[in-house]
A and B are shown apart, each in its own frame.
Chain A
């Protein structure tokens, strides 16, 4: 296109990740650390350059194959003709009704409001969700819930987007290829059985912080005398001061909760 050399992707020239170095760094790290990709964690010079450059390589090059005059002509013409799009029929719309309508509550065309909770950093936040014809579209705080008092934060506001996230896993993947749930369970069982002689030492369970932490043995699909794996809390949000501490392994959770409504 426009005589430009092909844009090369970052990964093609990136050196393979130095996993040993990452492991050493992680072992000596103090306190919680957050990263979004293994490249970021490795912090290689290639990655640093990628972050520093706001635009991809060669984005700033402008080979003048289309002259400025021609460009302005085309832009002017498209601006002048833009209104023509209105001189047409409306696009067809489809109406897809229910086969069996829900028995109660729902009126077609009107939103429904639900009082519900979402967990953020291991704590429950009372929210009101707006749902239109079965599709949640908005989350606001629940004024009657002590943890919310009608307020939400950016993470709660954005939580509804996770439902429509195109990056959300839609199927079981194995090395980028779509696989089946059964195949996953078989692979998991094989991996877990290999851990049995080691007493579960090589097995770590990672979970989101939850107000009711379940010990990993609760949800490992082979229950018969399997040694308990180590539990790890994967703290994805940092808004709430949260400290799993040793209480986690005892099945209890201890966290710091600050109540700001009645300062003394």
Chain B
């Protein structure tokens, strides 16, 4: 009876066994890479909004404080998106004919709200509170980046759990004095770790890596 398989198939079978391991590992790597890519995290992806509102112009150019619009950021989990009314405090007087602001005037006239696309979203199983982060000395810039240089809004951080934990494990790397949390251009004068360690003590920043801190 003739051989069914040629002797070279021995080599092929060994190769495929070894190859399977590489393919498996490669697949896992691909999944991990995809999950961290900006395709999945939407990091750096500019989102379309009903109005082409420019933070670069309003914050960077005019120097309007974050809290003028995001009023509840210091007292609530949610920073707040301004009502149309807030836009109209100025735009009832300036740029009143601008076609870019037509949706704002439309909303104010008809009473129908503007529908914004959320840029920074954590999943619903994560509890996030803006107010506590500000009170413990985490600046807006630390998570949101240089918003004062963004003509349209995008995410600069992945908002994935490993990114949260970077700071929750070592808050001293990121905390700043409370009075500078809203400053876009603040830089530590001294060594950040030295300052950070002092602030962690002064602000009573406790252990932050318990699951139930965020997954309540």
Contact = CB atoms under 8 A, between A and B. Distances in A.
Given A95-B118, A99-B108, A101-B85, A108 B40 contact: no
Interface string A82-101: 00000111101111111111
A101 B31 CA distance: 44
A95 B76 contact: no
B170 interface: no
Contacts of B35: 87
B17 interface: no
B85 A110 contact: no
A149 to B, nearest CB: 29
B173 to A, nearest CB: 27
Nearest to A133: B78
B113 A98 contact: yes
A87 B116 CA distance: 25
B40 A88 contact: yes
Nearest to A91: B121
Contact of B116 (A89, A94, A98, A108): A94
A87 B27 CA distance: 13
Name the prevailing secondary structure of the A interface residues: loop
A109 interface: yes
Given A90-B121, A94-B118, A108-B78, A99 B84 contact: yes
A107 B76 contact: yes
Interface string A118-156: 000000000000000000000000000000000000000
A109 B76 contact: yes
Interface residues of B, number: 32
Contact of A95 (B40, B81, B85): B81
Given A99-B83, A101-B85, A110-B72, A89 B39 contact: yes
Given A87-B35, A108-B72, A97 B40 contact: no
A92 B123 CA distance: 11
B75 A97 contact: no
A107 B70 CA distance: 11
Nearest to A97: B81
A109 B116 contact: no
Which has the most chain B C-beta neighbours within 10 Å: A93, A108, A110? A108
A93 B81 CA distance: 13
Interface in B104-130: 107-108, 111-118, 121, 123
Contacts of B121: 90, 93
A227 to B, nearest CB: 45
B82 interface: yes
Nearest to B41: A89
Contacts of B83: 97-101
Nearest to A92: B117
Contact of B82 (A94, A96, A97): A97
A94 B117 CA distance: 5
Contact of B84 (A90, A92, A100): A100
Interface of B: 31, 34-35, 39-40, 42, 71-72, 75-86, 107-108, 111-118, 121, 123
Interface of A: 87-90, 92-101, 107-110
23 contacts: A87-B31, A87-B35, A89-B39, A89-B40, A93-B118, A95-B116, A95-B118, A96-B116, A97-B82, A97-B114, A98-B84, A98-B85, A99-B83, A99-B85, A100-B84, A101-B85, A107-B76, A108-B81, A109-B72, A109-B76, A109-B77, A109-B78, A110-B77
Given A97-B114, A99-B83, 12 more contacts: A87-B35, A90-B42, A96-B113, A96-B115, A97-B113, A99-B84, A99-B113, A100-B83, A101-B86, A109-B78, A109-B80, A110-B77
